[in-house]
Amino acid sequence: MDVNFREALAILYRALSVVLFRAGIFAAGGFSIIIVFGMLLFALRVAGGASTLVVVVVASSAVLGLAVSGVGLQRFFLFRYRVAMLLLFSGRALPISGLAGAIRESGSLFRNHSQWQALNLTLRRALLFPS
């Protein structure tokens, strides 16, 4: 693949909106984890030793809730943005230019997360065990 610097910048510019969107989602998730652990530290300082078990149970349920919401977000929402990012990086001609066209095309290629996951599994197996 012979891509010069100008073409690489053009490809990066086309996909920049999707990359920044995904980075913003992950940064928000990181900040929410920091907030949960800050709440845990604050509650441990305020509660003292008597109700430490309650604080640990509440904090662990909050972290579990964040993990479940992150998996749900990836499953129902972010995989389309990953497909759109790959489409925009590939330089494929889309019927509608930009992010809207890439998201619409990703919806036509992959109806749900399980199709995307099955293709990823097939691709990983092909890359691990080339024939």
How confident is the model over 24-41, as a mean pLDDT?
82
What is the pTM assigned to this prediction? 0.54
pLDDT bin (cut points 50, 70, 90) of residue 47 is low
The reported pLDDT for the residue numbered 131 is: 59
Write the DSSP assignment of the chain as a string of letters: ----HHHHHHHHHHHHHHHHHHHHHHHHHHHHHHHHHHHHHHHHHHH-STTHHHHHHHHHHHHHHHHHHHHHHIIIIIHHHHHHHHHHHHT---SS-HHHHHHHHHHHH-SSHHHHHHHHHHHHHHHHS--
How confident is the model over 31-53, as a mean pLDDT?
74
Q: Which pLDDT tens digit goes with each residue over 52-71?
A: 677 777 778 877 888 888 78
